[in-house]
Amino acid sequence: MQDKTFGYRIAKTIDADVVVCGGGVAGAMAAVAAARAGASVVLVERYGFLGGNATAGAVAQFNSWQTANGRRVVAGLADEVVARLGRYGGAGEHATFVMSTGHRMDRVEYAPEVLKLVLDDMVQEAGVRPLLHASVLDVRVAGRHIDSVHVLTKSGVVELRAQVLIDASGDIDALQRAGATFLELDDGEALQPATMMFRFGPIDFARFEALSKTEIAALARRGYDDGQLARAALHSSRDPFSADGWFNIGRLGIDATDAMALGAAEIEGRRQAWKAAQYLRRCVPGCEQGQLRAFGTQVGVRETRRIVGDHVLTSEELLRPEQFPDAIAAGAYPIDIHPAAGGELRYEGLGDDHAYQIPYRSLIPVGFDNALAVGRGVSATHSAHAAIRVMTISMAVGQAAGVAAAMAAQPSQAGHVRAVSTPALRERLLGDGAKLA
């Protein structure tokens, strides 16, 4: 490969206590929590709106707030998001449903466009400075210390100097630029596929939802065998404002950090969605009058880079479940692996009252003193990530990282994230309504 060095001029420098790169649900919660804990915060996001997979990816349902028998394990800022969505009329109630695999869980369906407004409100009210339309370009490092993040904006390259960096970019682009190390897949593992979500309607939900699990499975199998569906599923969530549904039935086996592959997947994802919509119209009861109304702004990306952290969370620890003294969030979502090459989901349900914990050490990248990773970049094996990747848990982890970063940014700590007292962090999170078990 050719080695080239390009210079560029810094158009502007901004100082803050905490810089959060990536405004998905994990980054938005991290920014809000850090600002509410007293830090000055800049939130960098490449799009003109926040939410990531939750808005641009149009995932449209927050899954798994509680154990199968109904014990709440995620709350805090995530609850506030749902309450605010409700005030705009943009979310349904917590509803229990039974997966095709037989697992019982709860979810909240929401309107992705309204979530953009809710996240705008939350960051602005908290005093976070959002830097939208800004992409991570480079990171300057001195030894174990992140000095600054350079982002490309309409005003040119902006330098962001902070005590603490929180990488919430999903793909963990900032830490990648800083030279961090990432976990490898084991033999036989593949990155979870991406999916182009699409909105379809109107749907006669009375008839669609009256279909039995067996009927749905048979229709999905027929669509897949006929080459109309990319996976044998008719999984959707209902738009709270209309008789439309957001369908999650595409499958794109790519590494989304490969720019050419990502672009090709957007095109293929739209083709898959179009074909699936025709199948719904033709063959699925309740969908005869529907048409494809919208694609996600981009393909939803389930998995890319996961940091090597001070602790690598494993699926064995989730299944035991291991009790961590530095637990900063909890979850109850099962291990849910979509095979990239096709075929059935690997879905490992948990026991009725089973919840697991996420330790603070899994947010700390080895080799750096003043950085944290949140959301789908947390240090976890492929199979543990398959459980903790959902938005409920991402919001809880984001909240914890925000508070931790504000604590680390105190002058006495000089940005050192390992110097944060985890008992004090946990106490603060519990005081703010979070659940840790």
H or E, element range at 331: strand 327-331
CA distance 147 to 415: 11
Of 92, 375, 402, 415, which lies in the binding site for ligand FAD, with binding defined by CB under 6 A? 375
Of 302, 361, 382, 428, which lies in the binding site for ligand FAD, with binding defined by CB under 6 A? 302
DSSP, res 280:
H
Nearest approach, Cβ of residue 252 and ligand FAD (Å)? 10
Instruction: Mark 15-34 with x for binding to ligand FAD (rule: CB under 6 A) and - for no binding.
Output: ------xxxxxxx-------
Nearest approach, Cβ of residue 412 and ligand FAD (Å)? 30
Of 72, 113, 120, 135, which lies in the binding site for ligand FAD, with binding defined by CB under 6 A? 135
Nearest approach, Cβ of residue 364 and ligand FAD (Å)? 16
Nearest approach, Cβ of residue 303 and ligand FAD (Å)? 8
217: which 2 tokens?
A: 């499975």
* 251 binding ligand FAD? (CB under 6 A): no
Exposure letters 21-56 (e unless 16+ CB within 10 A, then b): bbbbbbbbbbbbbbbbbebbbbbbbbbebbbbbbbb
321: which 2 tokens?
A: 């479940």
423 preceded by a cis bond (ω within 30 of 0): no
CB 151, CB 44: distance < 8 Å: yes
* Distances, alpha carbon 368 to alpha carbons 5, 233, 364, 377, 415, in Å: 25, 42, 8, 15, 11
Q: What is the DSSP string of 81-149?
A: HHHHHHHTT-B---EEEE-TTS-EEEEEEB-HHHHHHHHHHHHHHHT-EEE-S-EEEEEEEETTEEEEE
* Piece of the chain touching ligand FAD by CB under 6 A; list 44-52, 67-75, 155-163, 399-407: 44-52
235: which 2 tokens?
A: 């999984």
Angle of the 422-431 helix axis to the 391-408 helix axis, nearest 10: 120
- The amino acid that residue 138 corresponds to is D
Nearest approach, Cβ of residue 77 and ligand FAD (Å)? 13
* Piece of the chain touching ligand FAD by CB under 6 A; list 256-264, 282-290, 299-307, 356-364: 299-307
* 61 binding ligand FAD? (CB under 6 A): yes
* 63 binding ligand FAD? (CB under 6 A): yes
* 334 binding ligand FAD? (CB under 6 A): no
* 160 binding ligand FAD? (CB under 6 A): no
Count of residues near ligand FAD by CB under 6 A: 39
Q: What is the footprint of ligand FAD within residues 191-210 (CB under 6 A)?
A: 195, 197
Nearest to 396 by CA among 339, 327, 317, 322: 327
Of 394, 396, 399, 420, which lies in the binding site for ligand FAD, with binding defined by CB under 6 A? 394
Of 389, 426, 428, 435, which lies in the binding site for ligand FAD, with binding defined by CB under 6 A? 389
Query: How many Cβ atoms from other residues are within 10 Å of residue 160's Cβ?
Result: 25
* Piece of the chain touching ligand FAD by CB under 6 A; list 109-117, 164-172, 183-191, 416-424: 164-172
* 370 binding ligand FAD? (CB under 6 A): no
Q: Which residues pair with 238 in a beta bridge?
A: 245
Nearest approach, Cβ of residue 242 and ligand FAD (Å)? 19
* 426 binding ligand FAD? (CB under 6 A): no
Residue 377's SS3 state is helix
* Piece of the chain touching ligand FAD by CB under 6 A; list 138-146, 178-186, 298-306, 426-434: 298-306
Of 106, 167, 173, 369, which lies in the binding site for ligand FAD, with binding defined by CB under 6 A? 173
Contact footprint for ligand FAD (CB under 6 A): 21-27, 44-47, 52-54, 57, 59, 61-63, 135-136, 168-171, 173, 195, 197, 248, 300-302, 375-376, 389-392, 394
